[in-house]
Structure 1
Amino acid sequence: MDLISKEKTYEIIEICLLAGKIMLKNGAETYRVEDTMTRIATAYGAEYSDSFVTPTGIIFSVEGTEPTKTKLIRIIERTTNLEKVVKVNDISRKISAGGLTIAQAYYLLNEIENEPKTYSDFMQVMAAAIASGCFLIMFQGVWGDFLPAVAAGGIGFLCSVYFHRLVPIKFFAEFLAAFLIGLIAFAAVRFGVGAEVDKIIIGSVMPLVPGLLITNAVRDLMAGHLVSGISKGAEAFLTAFAIGSGIAVLFVLL
């Protein structure tokens, strides 16, 4: 095995971890993160590298100097921004093709990490509101419930974002958001604005459902990443449980 310098080894580790962190934080699957990191390391001359990725951390090592260099980073916050994942994949392809130096790639990855959110909170709330009304119709609800579902879905999503900023525990934010959605749905039917409380609730909670998380959990399990697949599945289950609990508590109280 050709040895590479200590300085270049550290540079390779840093750029691989940065690429992996961006992808993992923004909704990429575990196996995709590991594959991207390995390809980048190989392109820069580190033929033998190992990575271990979980939803909360990345361990990456490169065999190029003695002793083998290893580094760990923690992933605290996770969101969904597949545009950043696509951009990192594009940079990875350019690196594999020999089109970017380590310094150039590191600069571009830093730009991606520091990019502001693609959509503002207002746009996300509006999208959640419209999606809630569309889900209501898809689940064979009546058009008279469209506006109540739009209001409940938008307000519920807004409260989920706001509560999560106040208390950084997703379970409580999603529980309170679901409770509020149910309360709005019951109020709409009670005052004659809505007709079917169940359809309004079902349509309005759909923007809170962790669809991408469930998909990634299944794909990771199929790819053999059992730890990541099970942990993502557990996180999706907790989200579903929080939504269900919020609605159930409201039914009990009312």
Structure 2
Amino acid sequence: MLQFTLGITIYVRVIKKEENMYDVLNMALTAGIIMLRNGSETYRVHNIIHQILFAKKIKEESIDILVVGTGIIVTIVPDDDSPPITMNKSVDKRVNNLQKISQVASLAKRFSNREISVTQAMKKLKIIDDAISYNLLVRTLAICLGTASFSIAFGGSLSDGFFTFLATIVPAFFINYAKKNDFPFFLSNMVAGALVALFALVFLTAHLVMSVNNIIASVIIILTPGVVAVTAIRDMVNGDFITGASRGIDALIQAASLALGVGALFSLWFTIFGGIIWMG
């Protein structure tokens, strides 16, 4: 009877230990996926997962982490004879939200300092993941103000800045709407580039601006995926060539689609209306 009772007690403790390890691993992967989905570098995701697992006294030699641009795989080998625990999560879509990356990093630090439990951390991660930073109108307005500022910085007048602001409204709204509804990024960027060129040519034809060069350059520089390109370089510098190369190609395709949209609209305009456009 005593042996039976001890056997049941030991079995329950092992199961409880595995469940605790499973919860920690699930929380670590959730934090990593939120960071990866919002544009974080892979090495930073790797460090955050390590930081969370180390907080629960899991030895470094017991942890095996694989982070790529589309997902995370983590395996923990327990100290006893228990089977390894492996979990993986994939990224369905990616955006650039540095605020969420910072919030997850801050939460991981609090967890490492034992200020919050696994359950509390999971609740906070869900809040971070579900949060909407700014609505569609605010994002569109921010892009328009940015392009107007670039127009003036590039040597344009206040009038050029105003018409650049107007030329950005529809493309910016379309880009944000396309991201929200999971449109193919190549198609959405190409249409946005075409819309920019269209409004610039219309303003030039109506003699509202002196050239289309300032408008197009100011809008394109905002829509160009600079954060993605920088993240790709940082990944490659840190030795993650697979993710860095894939992100670099992603940035290149996005920039090429913008240029393709502008060029296609110019070609169509010349075919229909003819004439020479002053670009200077």
TM-score range, shorter chain: over 0.9
SS at match of 2:176: helix
- Structure 1 position 104 matched with structure 2 position 120: yes
> What is the aligned counterpart of 2:48 among 36, 61, 74?
36
| 2:172 paired with 1:195 | no
**Residues 168-177 or 105-114, more deviating:** 105-114
Q: Which of the residues 95, 100, 106 maps onto 1:79?
A: 95
**Sequence identity (%):** 27
- Mapped to 1, the partners of 2:120 and 2:56 lie a distance apart of 13
Q: Does 1:55 align with 2:69?
A: yes
Where in structure 2 are the equivalents of 1:231-250 lying within 5 Å?
231-250=246-265
Alignment check: 8 A CA contact 2:37 2:93 kept:
yes
- Whether the 8 Å CA contact 2:147–2:168 is kept in 1: the answer is yes
1:189-221: per-residue Cα shift (whole Å, max 9, x none)? 110111110111110122211111111111111
How far residue 164 of structure 1 moved from its aligned partner, in angstroms, is: 4.2
Residues 153 and 205 of structure 1 are in contact (CA less than 8 Å); yes or no, is this contact kept in structure 2? no
The answer as to whether partners of 2:32 and 2:49 remain within 8 angstroms in 1 is yes
Structure 2 partner of 1:124? 139
What is the rounded CA distance, in whole Å, between the counterparts of 2:169 and 2:181 in structure 1? 19
In the alignment, structure 2 segments of 5+ residues that lack a partner are 1-13, 270-280
Rg larger in structure: 2
Contact 1:213/1:233 (<8 A) preserved: yes
Q: Tell me, in whole angstroms, the C-alpha distance in 2 between the residues paired with 1:198 and 1:184.
A: 12
Secondary structure at 2:114 match in 1: coil
Task: Tell me how far 1:14 sits from its aligned partner.
Answer: 0.5
Structure 2 CA distance for partners of 1:243 and 1:94, relative to 1, 3 Å: same
SS, match of residue 59 in structure 1: strand
Deviation for aligned residue 1:114: 1.9
Runs of 4+ in 1 over 4 A off after TM superposition: 164-167
Cα pair distance change 1:86/1:163, threshold 3 Å: closer
| Separation in structure 1 between the aligned mates of residue 139 and residue 180 of structure 2, nearest angstrom | 15
Normalising by the residue count of structure 2, what TM-score does the alignment of the two structures yield? 0.85
- Tell me which residue corresponds to 2:191: 176
Tell me what 1:138 maps to.
Answer: 153
**Contact 1:144–1:195 (8 Å) recurs in 2:** no
Shift of residue 248 of structure 1? 1.0
Shift in Å, 1:162: 2.5
Q: Deviations over 1:81-112 (max 9, x none)?
A: 21111111111111111222212211211221
